[in-house]
A and B are shown apart, each in its own frame.
Chain A
Amino acid sequence: MKRNGIYFWIGAALFLAGAMLMTQVIGNQYPFFACYVILQFIVLAVAWSILGGYAGYVNFGTSAFFGVGVYTAVFLFKATGVPLAVQIAAAAAVGALMGFALGLLTLRMQGIFFSIATIAATIIIETAITNWRYVGGASGIQLQRPAVMAPFDNYVEMLFFVQAVMVVLAVAISRYIQNSWIGRGLQALKDDELAAECTGVPTLRLKLTACVISGALMCAAGAPAAMYLQYADPASAFNLNYSVSALAMSLIGGTAHWAGPVIGAILLGVTQQLLTVTISSEVNVLVLGVMLVLFVVAAPEGIIGLIRKVRSKRNEGEG
């Protein structure tokens, strides 16, 4: 366990060093544009699976959290011009509050009812933002990027690195939850909430914890998006595509292990980027759907499940 931890942090450090090196070496802007989106989806998928995977509460409201993250940043930037780090931290705080509210919802709603409620919440929040003139309303808002900071010579490169840091943060949190008593408690309540409660698991507290962390990460992931596009509008910030992608990436990767959503997000994110460039941005939605159907039918436990199955078969063969 300890050695695993060391490997994990070495891997994380190498990943960040690699990202930093990329910003210093590569001159072309496109890789950063593309990789930023993939990194963003890793954060969203990992955050989604903390609630949807570990606790089994399927949240269709990823786009609500993402959009609120975007608009928290937009509002703060327009009102005060605070730096990006503050925008992200504020978005995380707002996301945590939203997550708390979502967690209270689990008291009364489970299964499909919870999922439907999250879709409803998304629509309500989007409608509210659409009617908020200060942040641009339905027509959206143009944003002027501020000057870029020291080691980076381009704003997108900086955003790319910031998102890479968030990936490490999200994965580290998810991994910690999985390996700790929180993870065991969430797994128990996912299997059977009443039995978990009667075995001493504080189900409500754990669900609230999962919702708060998941919500904070999703909102934080959305905060830099406004600066990335230099533009924000409700229809794209609250696009259902974020919800579907985060869910699909987690399920395709497998929710039983923290690495699942990472694998799923990289696989689907890269595919989407390739398709967007080579065919069209509409086809990637279709491909997402087809892949999700294929995995649900052929490998319901996702890629992680496939790997485990192969491993256990090999072990049986040896034993």
Chain B
Amino acid sequence: MAPETQAPLLRISALTKRFGGFTALDNVSVDIPPGQRFGLIGPNGSGKTTLINCISGAFRTEPGTVTFRDEDITRLPPHIRTRRGIARSFQIPRPFRSMTVAENLMVGLDFAADTSVIVSEAHRREAMMSILTRMGLASKANVSATKLSQVELRKMELARAMATHPKLLISDEAMAGLSSSEVDEVLDLLMSLADQDITIIMIEHIMQAVMRFSERVMCLEAGKIIAIGTPDEVMSNQRVQEAYLGT
């Protein structure tokens, strides 16, 4: 399993995204090998969320391609990408408000579950409960999504993403606004998911969390990659420090 010889799970090449005259992403290229815990950092407005919107399909990109498991997915709509194995959580949680926690997960299981394993309704319920148990939400299964606390909402978003049977999970600031003990809780959850062969891209502003979690970190500034490497390398990079602290 030498990472050099392994084909990347996700390959982004020469990706550019413009909103009118504003260039949110400028010629971004990066390979993410399978199983990697990948941290994505950068100041506000640097293009982190735009990048994951391009990966998950919410935005179409003109110049540039996104390749996932050796397949060009640049033109695929989001729901097909989800079925191919790309799941995400949202920076501001977007639960299905009219549903219970269990039903939220059932949407994922109904539309994007691994059909080779899950065939019957009973299978689906079983899979749903096992995900909820792992996320520590089993007791909330029949609670309306509107009644959850902030940390529960974050966990439910991850659980819903897990219900789609992802190979790549993108966590968009799942820890923003949480207390430090809650941050640890969510971090442990992400770590345990990464142990199950799920590649994770984590966007985060909380540096301790990024440093603890990531095997590799990329820093964006104004739509450009300014540093990529091990967490220590990136943190000690002059330009990263300038971007975060100012000169």
Q: What is A's interface to B at a CB cutoff of 8 Å?
A: 181, 184-185, 187-188, 190-192, 194-204, 256
B63-119 CB contacts (< 8 Å) to partner A: 77-79, 82-83, 87-88, 90, 94-99, 103, 106-108, 110-112
B87: which A residues are within 8 A, CB to CB?
198
B56 touches A184 (CB 8 A): no
Q: Counting CB contacts under 8 A, is B160 at the interface?
A: yes
A181 touches B110 (CB 8 A): yes
B82 touches A185 (CB 8 A): no
A204: which B residues are within 8 A, CB to CB?
77
**Cα separation A184 to B113 with both chains bound (whole Å):** 15
Q: Which of B58, B106, B161 contacts A194 (CB 8 A)?
A: B58
Q: A187-B98, A198-B56, A200-B83 are in contact. List 13 more A-B contacts (CB 8 A).
A: A181-B110, A184-B103, A184-B110, A185-B110, A190-B98, A192-B95, A192-B96, A194-B58, A195-B96, A197-B78, A199-B108, A199-B160, A200-B82
Please give the distance in Å from B230's CB to the nearest CB on chain A. 30
B88 touches A196 (CB 8 A): no
**Cα separation A195 to B82 with both chains bound (whole Å):** 11
> Total interface residues on B, using CB and 8 Å?
28
Q: Which of A187, A191, A195, A200 contacts B112 (CB 8 A)?
A: A200
**Cα separation A201 to B161 with both chains bound (whole Å):** 12
B56: which A residues are within 8 A, CB to CB?
198
**Cα separation A204 to B112 with both chains bound (whole Å):** 16
B108 touches A200 (CB 8 A): yes
Please give the distance in Å from A103's CB to the nearest CB on chain B. 15
B95: which A residues are within 8 A, CB to CB?
191-192, 195
A192 touches B164 (CB 8 A): no
**Cα separation A200 to B110 with both chains bound (whole Å):** 9
B164 touches A195 (CB 8 A): no
**Cα separation A185 to B107 with both chains bound (whole Å):** 7
**Cα separation A187 to B106 with both chains bound (whole Å):** 12
B164 touches A200 (CB 8 A): yes
**Cα separation A241 to B88 with both chains bound (whole Å):** 45
The 3 A-B residue pairs with the shortest CB-CB distance in the complex, in nearest-first order: A200-B112, A200-B111, A195-B94
Q: Which of A187, A201, A202, A203 contacts B99 (CB 8 A)?
A: A187
**Cα separation A181 to B108 with both chains bound (whole Å):** 11
A195 touches B90 (CB 8 A): yes
Please give the distance in Å from A95's CB to the nearest CB on chain B. 27
A198 touches B98 (CB 8 A): no
B90 touches A184 (CB 8 A): no
**Cα separation A202 to B79 with both chains bound (whole Å):** 6
B78 touches A198 (CB 8 A): yes
30 A–B contacts, CB within 8 A, in A order: A181-B110, A181-B111, A184-B106, A184-B110, A185-B107, A185-B110, A187-B96, A192-B96, A194-B58, A194-B78, A195-B90, A195-B96, A197-B78, A197-B82, A198-B57, A198-B58, A198-B79, A198-B82, A198-B88, A199-B107, A199-B112, A200-B82, A200-B108, A200-B111, A200-B164, A201-B107, A201-B111, A202-B111, A203-B79, A204-B77
